[in-house]
Amino acid sequence: MTRAPDAFLGGKINLHQLEDGYRAGMDAAVLAAALGLKPGQRALEFGCGAGAALLSAASLYPEAHLTGIERDPEAAALAQSNIVLNGFEDRVAVTEGDALSVKAARELDAVFFNPPFFDDPTALRAPKSGKAPAWMSDAGLEAWMEAGLKRLKSGGLITVIQRADRLDDLLLALKGRAGAVVILPIQPRAGEPAKRVLVQAIKTGKGPLELLPPLTLHETGGSSFTPEADAIFRGERRLALRR
């Protein structure tokens, strides 16, 4: 069952979503803002769901070509309808299938995803059963990272947003496969521990790891977004991860 389309990215895109399934939020907007796609580049999203990050990226990078892979048939159908709804058919597509096994036709400039946060079903406490596939992975995080890197050409970018407590797993999965790693901690408020990390690396890249100043989402002592976060969520600002 679907509802009327939601305005997303400050109303720059409209998004039909599953009423009882995972609903897109901050992670999708931040992920899309961090891609740094150049005109003509081709990018692939694993597990695109209804297309929030995919379509946000299409809005932010109007000369890039994007494809999403989604294994849930209903979510993939929603993503396809959302592509049409937003008029992106000429440069955005979606494929139904398992992102970890579907082979890409070419080596890509960028791969990005918001992988399921949990590998252990005993750790999952999703409020609705329909959200479980978005939160729980049959394969481990390393399998997602390995599959993503396989799709990239040499010098291509992999960009991932994850729970902050899984940073060590992300770095271990990248070791020996990608370099020039950039880490952006994402904290709820200034002085609070980061809840998310955004990690980007270059396949076969060289260079030291760089830890950026955190992105702070809310003003201290309140629920209002900081100016930087508000601009990202409205689709008015990209994240410049690399100099």
Contact, 226 vs 3, CB < 8 A? no
- Partnered with residue 42 across adjacent β-strands are 65
Alpha-carbon gap, residue 66 to 85, rounded angstroms: 16
Contact, 137 vs 118, CB < 8 A? yes
pLDDT-based confidence at residue 156 (cuts at 50, 70, 90): very high
Q: What mean pLDDT value characterizes the chain?
A: 89
Burial of 128 (0-12, 13-18, 19+ CB in 10 A): exposed
Q: 6-233, superfamily in CATH?
A: Vaccinia Virus protein VP39 (3.40.50.150)
For residue 137, pLDDT over 60 is answered with no
Q: Which of 225, 160, 156 is nearest to 197 (CA)?
A: 160
Highest mean pLDDT of the ranges 22-36, 133-147, 161-175 = 161-175
Domain boundaries, the chain: 6-233
Amino acid in the structure at residue 138: D
Contact, 229 vs 237, CB < 8 A? no
Helix 52-60 crosses helix 73-85 at what angle (to 10 degrees)? 30
pLDDT tens readout for residues 87-129? 999 999 999 999 888 776 678 999 999 988 545 545 445 554 5
pLDDT tens readout for residues 7-31? 999 999 999 987 766 667 899 999 9
Mean pLDDT, range 180-208, rounded to an integer = 97
Helix (H) or strand (E) holding 134: helix 132-135
Find the range with the poorest average confidence among 47-56, 98-107, 210-219. Answer: 98-107
DSSP classification of residue 70: E
Contact, 154 vs 203, CB < 8 A? yes
For residue 136, pLDDT over 60 is answered with no
pTM of the model as a whole? 0.89
**1, 52, 60, 172, 228 from 113: Cα distances, Å:** 25, 11, 16, 17, 22
Burial of 2 (0-12, 13-18, 19+ CB in 10 A): middle
**Per-residue pLDDT, 2:** 46
**Per-residue pLDDT, 125:** 52
Q: Which of 238, 192, 234 is nearest to 214 (CA)?
A: 192
- Partnered with residue 65 across adjacent β-strands are 42
CA 115, 121, 127, 131 torsion: positive or negative?
positive
Alpha-carbon gap, residue 77 to 70, rounded angstroms: 9
**Per-residue pLDDT, 62:** 97
